[in-house]
Structure 1
Amino acid sequence: MEETSEVIKLNSRVVFCRVGDKRILTVHQKPLYLKKGFPKVNLASAVGKPYGNFLLVKQKEGNVFNLEPLEVGSAKEVDPRLEATGVTRDNRDIVDSSTSQKLTMDEICTRTGSGLLGAEMIDLLVENSATFSSKSEYSQQKYLRKKLEKYSDNVTLMPPSLRLVSEIIFDYDPLSVQNLRPDTLAILLNTAGISCGGKYLVLENGCKGLVTAGVLERLGGEGRLIRITTKKERSGELEAVEKLDLSKNLKQPLISLPLQDLECLNPGFEIPEKDNCFPLAECHVMLKSMGCAVLVKLTENWLREYQVLPDRTHPLVTMSGNSGFLLSGIKVQTSNAEFIYPVGDKSLVEDLDLPDFDKFPKLASATCYKCFLKPGDALFIPSLWYHNVKALDFSVAVNFFWCGMRKELYDAGDPYGNKDPVPVARAAQSVDKAVALLRTLPPKFAQFYGRKLANVLYQKSSEG
């Protein structure tokens, strides 16, 4: 896993945070404007210094501010005037007008250009406000917060992370990422079990590469990520990957594959041309009916944000509570029966530690999972999974069996469900009769038609 540098480097990306303002910037030699009415900031002055809190300090010449590191604990995130005082006032006699502030915009720009920022600038604005002292406590707090957002001289520089990148993109334009909130992205990655060194397939459209960036960050430069691209893919689809400022090593697992090329992976694969209003709902029903996955869930991730202020705590009105739907499930491994030479519920392979591949060549294609159980551990084995147990030392194991089908399908004298289900036992009797009839044929014909009937039986039993 590659470690993030602890110091700021030239041409790297940083998260620039002020009160009420958060953005991703590239550290260049040339100073840049942050917003209209705000002086230039020289990000290069922070090169070689650790991430953290900085103070905007005006250069001796020119309207440019450098970044000077602040000592730990010296940065004031909350203005003391924002704290509640308990004084009751209202705004009934206040009339909004352009004359409430005695300072003109030119005078304010002149003072900020001369290096006046932070508490001194806010004090000056409060002193020259004709209505501040008459405002209600809430209105005063709102006024101070707005001025603090505009004139604060405290800055925090942080390295880009998936959480910060997703928050910034979502706050700026939620529709550009289809309302994919940071918390929903985290749930998606956790549900998928993304971990270092894994192999994953991502089909993402209209989310600016947030899912791709999240998977790459968790892979840590190891494993493989195949990203499916479409013909309609627009520029900026990997904006989140670029803003995350991943190194070449961390982006190395990424491979792009056009959607049309999936046909070569699965012959007969067709790409639907018509849009479907409920693709996840249909896929949910299909997965449940196919039985190829367990814990299949279709969930809606709802979040309600609140404004928390003295006497002003309420849900936010202008927000997007819904962040889409998540379809999740755990894929069940397909049967390995054809590779392990089964005879009833047993296998002809006697030694799985040292198998004879010359005698059992198909065994090499079987998927094998190994684990070691310690005292107190439990292992869940799905139905119809062949398994082998080897005791490395003296041990006592307790088994518990679940009957996954209707009660009447099991033998009444078999409480554990170890015997073949009743329909299978009855079908076996019919098989014995069929074998007796086939044996009336010459051996060569009996084998030929036996294989034919076996294929017919397999195909019809596999039909839904």
Structure 2
Amino acid sequence: MEPAKVEEYTDVTEESFITDIYPRRKPAVLKGVDIGPCISKWTVEYLCEYGGKNDVKIHVSATPQMDFISKNFVYRTLPFNEFVRRASEDIKKEFFLNEDEKYYLRALGDDPRKDIADIHTQFPVLACDINIPEYFTPDRFFSSVFRIGSAGVQLWTHYDVMDNLLVQVTGRKRVVLFSPEDVDKLYLKGDKSLVLDIDHPDEDKYPLFRQARRYECRLSPGDILFIPALWFHSVVSLDFGVAVNVFWRHLDLEIYDPRDTYGNRDPIPAARAQQIVDRAVKVLEELPQEYRDFYARCLAARLLDKTVNKAEDSS
């Protein structure tokens, strides 16, 4: 199945985003939005000079495909300026694993257990260079995440529980997305897909994966990708590049887990429902296999009838 192209919109204003794009609940590439002088200013030299020397925790992998489930990477700590220098090099003069290892930074709060990531707090000088579109009210803001990756880095396919904008500042990215409606074809473990190589999946292990509809786009400096909550996405850095994600809470605030500083915990009702399912699975294990299979299918059909089918009927 040929991938569908993510729709592109030019000269997007706050009004046109909220009125024309946001209600569709589909990914969209926004072009022509003024994100400030960061596009020209954020060279390697500039980032090293003005990004500071505070230590940052980074992912280091011997291969470009990073897998969060099997943890084929290690965490290491470097001063920010040293990390940027190494990440920008194809062949490293200094390295942890091998000379062509790959680096990825997902900036954290000052105390990750209590603080959210916010570029204005962790990188105040650099924050002055970027204009992040505010297509939401200030009380809905959750985090602004600074991301830097080596050329070739591919991140695992996952979903987020909040709407977000991926602001591409330097370098290019390839992004592949999947609809929440195809969740049953993506072989999940938590919020991540077990299918690491989405271009060449193991069809014996993941036979349904090919049936999931792919949406694809390429981001250039200055492009912004709107990723609605629950849309799965896999990101490949085609070049060394810098991006900023801004997340906001679009549901009732009490639905979100107040202990969640990363913004990746399922909403409280969803987490409770999953716990109930886990308990149901444990109870069904008391039955012989034939009965387990039968009643599991009955429960699945009931869930679909009471939730998905009911929602479709009402719409």
| TM norm structure 1 | 0.28
Return the index of the structure with the highest Cα Rg.
1
Greater RCO structure (CA 8 Å; 6+ sep): 2
| TM norm structure 2 | 0.40
Give the structure with the larger strand fraction: 2
